[in-house]
Amino acid sequence: MGILNVTPDSFSDGGKHFSLDAAIRRGLQMVQEGADWIDVGGESTRPGACEVDEAEECRRVLPVVEALSGSCGAVISVDTQKVGVARQALEHGACVINDVGAGQERSAMWKLVAETGAGYVAMHMQGKPSTMQLNPSYGDACCDVDRFFEDRMKAILEMGVHPDQIVLDVGIGFGKALGHNLRLLGGLRIFKHFRRPILVGVSRKSFIGLLTEAGVGDRLPGSLAAASWAVMEGAQILRVHDVAESVQAVRVVDAIALHAG
């Protein structure tokens, strides 16, 4: 899954693809580099980020979603917490809703997913982007996230969504301290019992900087290491900024796994 932020303030690439032409070029480039899926977001969810109103978020994402859905052949998702944005994005060609706000009461969003048959990524986040890193706390991160997925799966299915529509994202960096992120990555296999694809987003995130003292632009090696580990532990979808490099790393991991003992 290639990350396409059409925002001025995302933590890694804010402003780089803010214009329509730049966003479309980057989306097509990521597909050429091997992305199967482009995730278009118009509201930053970096720690401390402020919310964007629905009209502005639609203004940012809808033209990009429409252009890419008609030209690139990849799955197009919209990264949003707003049901109004999600509905319009689906009407403009998106087929998946990537909902970082799945921890909130989302009955309207889940009803939309049930009505449209769209894919739905349910991500774990403790708190909201504006507050999530103030004091994240868990008994055991894997156990707590596992319980969250159990609760959310039950609620989502009760709204009429089919299990095959759901992808689970453990939410690396969303309301987690360093130890919580490492625990989740180390325990990804715990979540296999849900029998749903597991999505992992580690690309350029702050835990890599805490471990290595690398700035955001220098975290590619750590991102590839974490992504490779995630694949070996059962992740089926990687959300990344650096598509070509990530595709190469995953192909090597897959080849080794195929020939392992």
User: Which tens digits make up the pLDDT trace of 190-208?
Assistant: 999 999 999 999 999 999 9
Nearest CA to 96 out of 152, 169, 34 is that of: 169
Q: Which of 106, 152, 219, 239 is catalytic?
A: 239
pLDDT, position 14: 47
Q: Is residue 234 within 8 Å of 192, Cβ to Cβ?
A: yes
CATH number of the domain enclosing 245:
3.20.20.20
User: Which tens digits make up the pLDDT trace of 15-56?
Assistant: 565 689 999 999 999 999 999 999 999 998 877 777 889 999
User: Could you tell me the residue range of the domain that residue 20 belongs to?
Assistant: 2-258
Q: Which of 26, 82, 87, 205 is catalytic?
A: 205
Residue 239 bears catalytic tag: yes
* Domains identified in the chain, total number: 1
Mean pLDDT confidence for 156-166: 97
